[in-house]
Structure 1
Amino acid sequence: MRIVTGDLADPMIVDLLQVHLASSRAQTAPGSAHALDLTGLQAPGITFWAMWDGDSLVGVGALKRLAPDHGEVKSMHIAQTRRRTGAGSLMLRHIIEAARHAGMRRLSLETGSWDHFRPARTLYGKHGFVACPPFADYRPDPNSVFMTLALSAADAPPRPDGPATP
């Protein structure tokens, strides 16, 4: 499998993102869905990737820069037929490494609190994410779970402008 910068004009990517939005919104209370649409994914500070297995689109994911040292996992979605195959872990590790490479010290996310989102919460927990209070512009919401991962400075690659300060 390969993960590359995603083309938001590719019909396969557009279709998968529409499935992501529709399922997220259908499984979340009105006003509590925070998945980004195509326009949102084109905003400054967002890097978007697609995961391919040959010509088959496996999944998508994005990293949103909230601050120089803080990022957010956005729009991570694996095609239904590829779930429970390790593809979600592969995409999440890619996003984590991209955040480290960008000098981020913390990576956070928001996901749903409903049973539909339990597999996602389990995946994030397996990768070290822990519950946290709302961050950025989020507000407390019983339909949301907020999670964060501290990115160790020791794990980060050297910065071109010198070492990062703790």
Structure 2
Amino acid sequence: MEIKLDDLSGSEVAQLLGEHLHSMALHSPPESIHALDLEGLKRPEVTFWSAWEDDELVGCGALKELDGQHGEIKSMRTSTLYLRKGVAKQLLEHIIQEAKNRGYRRLSLETGSMDAFEPAKKLYASVGFQYCKPFSNYIEDPYSVFMTKEL
């Protein structure tokens, strides 16, 4: 698997992000969806990577700089055909390493609280993320859980 910086111009990436946003809409009320759309992912404080197996898009993920010491994981998504094959873990490890390279002291994330998000929560916990209070501009929300990891 090759993980590469992505400018979000490819149709495959747009389609995978569309699936991501659609999935969020199925499981969360609109006011509790914090996923970034294509334009949000193109903001200067966000770095986006796509993961490829040969010429096939297998997943994506992003890192948003909150400040010089704190980053947020965004838009983690694995293609349906590649679920439970280690794609998300490799992307997550890549993002964690990039956060360390940048000198961040903390990496945080928001994900859903419903059963559909259980695999994601288990993945994050498996690499040392712990549940925490809302961070940045987030507020308490029964549809969200917040996790953080000291780097």
Q: What is the TM-score of this pair, normalised by structure 1?
A: 0.90
Matched, 1:135 2:135: yes
Matched, 1:92 2:92: yes
Q: Tell me the distance in 2 between the aligned counterparts of 1:95 and 1:116.
A: 23
Residue matched to 1:9: 9
How far residue 9 of structure 1 moved from its aligned partner, in angstroms, is 1.0
Matched, 1:32 2:32: yes
Q: Residues 115-144 of structure 1, C-alpha deviation per residue, up to 9 Å, x if partnerless?
A: 111110011010110000000000000100
Residue matched to 1:120: 120
Matched, 1:59 2:59: yes
Instruction: Give the secondary structure class of the aligned counterpart of 2:7.
Output: coil
Does the Cα contact within 8 Å between 1:68 and 1:104 map onto a contact in 2? yes
User: Which structure has the greater CA radius of gyration?
Assistant: 1
Instruction: Give the secondary structure class of the aligned counterpart of 2:16.
Output: helix
Residue matched to 1:158: none
Q: Residues 90-109 of structure 1, C-alpha deviation per residue, up to 9 Å, x if partnerless?
A: 00000000000011010000
Does the Cα contact within 8 Å between 1:65 and 1:72 map onto a contact in 2? yes
Does the Cα contact within 8 Å between 1:71 and 1:108 map onto a contact in 2? yes
Q: Tell me the distance in 1 between the aligned counterparts of 2:29 and 2:8.
A: 27
What 5-or-longer segments of structure 1 have no aligned partner? 152-166
Report the RMSD for the aligned CA atoms in angstroms: 0.6
Paired amino acid for 2:19: V
Does the Cα contact within 8 Å between 1:59 and 1:76 map onto a contact in 2? yes
Identity %: 50
What 5-or-longer segments of structure 2 have no aligned partner? none
What is the number of residues matched between the two proteins? 151
Q: Tell me the distance in 1 between the aligned counterparts of 2:25 and 2:67.
A: 27
How far residue 7 of structure 1 moved from its aligned partner, in angstroms, is 2.8
